[in-house]
Structure 1
Amino acid sequence: MSVEKVRTYEECESDVRSYCRFFPFELETAENAIVTLSSGEKYIDFLSGCGSLNYGHNNNTMKEALLRYISMNGIAHTLDFYSTSKKSFIETFKKKILSPRKLDYKIQFTGPTGANAVEAALKLARKVTGRTNVIAFTNGFHGVSLGALSLTGNRANRAVAGLALHGVTRAPYDGYFGPQFDTVQWLDQMLTDPSAGIEEPAAFIVETVQGEGGLNVASIRWMRALRALASKHGALLIIDDVQAGCGRTGTFFSFESAQIVPDIVVLAKSLSGFGLPFAAVLLAPQHDVWQPGEHNGTFRGNNHAFVTAQTAIDNFWSDDSFTQSIAKNIKIMETALAKLQSATGWPSKGRGMMQGLCCPTYEIAASIRARCVQTGLILELCGPCDETIKLMPPLTIEESVLHDGLERFSEAVLSVGNLAAVSAKVRSKECTTTLG
């Protein structure tokens, strides 16, 4: 990218910008999994707007529905007034998402970010139970506004708050101490013992797959045990499905395989289907203890998002054909990552279409990312030290494009991995020579 093009961003945009530092190019157009730069170059997108573009860029069906709505002067902004587009979304969501899964949630439209929906979930859980403590888990990420940030584990993210973050107890996630350590049993013991020092919790909040924390996956057994634990101790179970929801793990909700019913579910990112800002909290009817206006926000009535969200549900979730299509893509990703794990010895991680490879160091992961950029592939890193490479292509990606992207990724991994192995051998030889 030319110095002239970069100058506007460097002179006028805050230094807080981050993705553009690793991907120093200018985006212009996009279709499904292909992004075209202002230079005309094409890239395969394995980032999908951090999970906000599960149905790809500029899905034609959603685009046409939105353009029709705009062309008829459909109302764009309604706060929480009733609107025809909101009603259509609610009815479609209930009919095609909630009812088939025997779920009876009420829907709360929050401010249009996952973090704001998390804030609402926290406030509601504390209001319902009359308790203040919330139990969150190691390597969890729930947003960077103050309430959500108190739940987020990453030390660097938390440090920016500039004040102490209270009201949260951190507990070990499934497998944090290895497969033999039952973290739910440990939690039960701590909560049962009145002298353990943990306040009774208002809620447990958890991601079934930790998208930013390193693609750690909660087992079905663990999720069921956590559901039972929350009920036993009079706490609510909140599932943060902001990144893992809307089909990313193969089913609409990421917790479906565990056959549990959370008290509260947080949705955002791909809920709009089109990359438009949109978030919601699903809550069990008995927990709807809000007074009017107790949690509000100017942009909780995004009617453009209602239109595209309804279209996405109609188009992709009316039957099980989309689920079957995702399953095929999941298998392709699993096969490619298994081969890389065998070749490198580095573990593959994740579930569904949010999978990746855990590298020995951040430096190796960053080198692989840089190599991918050179070959026309966009992806990101995650994990405590950004040591895990995360692959999140659109769920709708064409099979040929998925194979192409995975081949580019594999080439980058093997290229950098071989260099890392040679470098390690050289260092080992130098060390042996010195000691000798």
Structure 2
Amino acid sequence: MSQSDLPIVIIGAGPVGLAAAAHALARGMNPLIFEAGGQAGESISQWGHVSMFSPWEYNVDKEAAKLLAATGWQAPDSDTYPTGRELLDHYLLPLAELPVIKERLHLNSRVTAVTKVGADVQKTKGRESAAFLVRVKGPKGEQDIQARAVIDASGTYETPNWMGASGIPALGELNAKAHIAYGLPDVSGSARDRYLGRRVLVVGGGHSAFNALQDLVQLPGTQVSWAIRGHSLDKILGGGANDKLAERGSLGLRIRALLEQGKISLHQDISISQVDTTEQGLVVHSHGQPLPEVDEIIVATGFRPNLQLLGELRLAIDPATQSSVQLAPLIDPNEHSCGTVRPHGIDELSHPDAGIFIVGMKSYGRAPTFLMITGYEQVRSVIAGLAGDWDAARRVELELPETGVCSLQFETQEETSSCCAPMTPAQASCCTPASRT
């Protein structure tokens, strides 16, 4: 079998992974999708209670919509804002059930390694012509699949960042894990009893933290504290009414109002080095000083990519962002404080081993901002390139909303100097749900 006859392996059946499959099918390719969870969009199901701050028009891939429309599917109102659960029920799960997708989708099948046939990462001779070898652990045990290309759309939700400011667990963090939640607990639903009437500290300065905060203050008797690294609330809370994604702007405005009403106790310039478990509660230490005791901690400090499964491939990974080297300068949060990111595709996502692509949320590494439609543009470009259609692969077909966070009200802040440069069409610092970092 020649390499051109081999399938394209897609890791992850989230929105971006299934979009990649739809684009591959449209170009006559054979995608195989491996999903570690028991359903498509398994990670989304864990934050299904969260409202997204991007409306439906930014959450549906065009090629996937064509497949669905052929079955009589009706697209949701483009101006409404879905929850994660609605995204699953009204888009992703119907897409996964289409026969042309379902027959290629393997659930409960975790990709544990990707390498080259007969070549570890050190071997050069014959490497370029060797097919990819993908090891999958599924219901029937392990198997090796050969592929002409591999698209890693596995996301980052399974690997949240630690609470410790140095990138590793704070001293005592692992010992306190019974009282620490990472990511997006359903504070108003399944996790309500855990936080009701308790003292709760939320750590993190993004939309994950915002959602937790606004839900916690609704619980009777719950005392809510918030710890952030920086000093600038204007930068953290975003563009408000100037944000082209209205729900995202409104979320920041709601948090500002709760702070002004005294419903949230704010701790700024926090750098957590230690957490002690005492009889009075958990005590977090910052700069050698203790914060008031709490009963529970929600760590909403973002996510990081798991690159271990690609360890036998030759990748060009930026040491800071952990994204591809060519993408890193476009998304580095040290330089792009409000998402001055231009459209990008196959060229920025390529690696020394041709044919391996990290897309979607995982493509941004540790950079905290990502819009789902960006992932759709990524896979459109990648699949076009794999099909040999380089005009389409390098053509920009993406227009993103501006964040509004660079408005004149923030010009006096030192942090926004790079942010207030001339806008590009893709200037948006947007996570997928309103709650993603």
TM-score using structure 1 length: 0.30
- Greater fraction of residues in helix: 1
TM-score using structure 2 length: 0.30
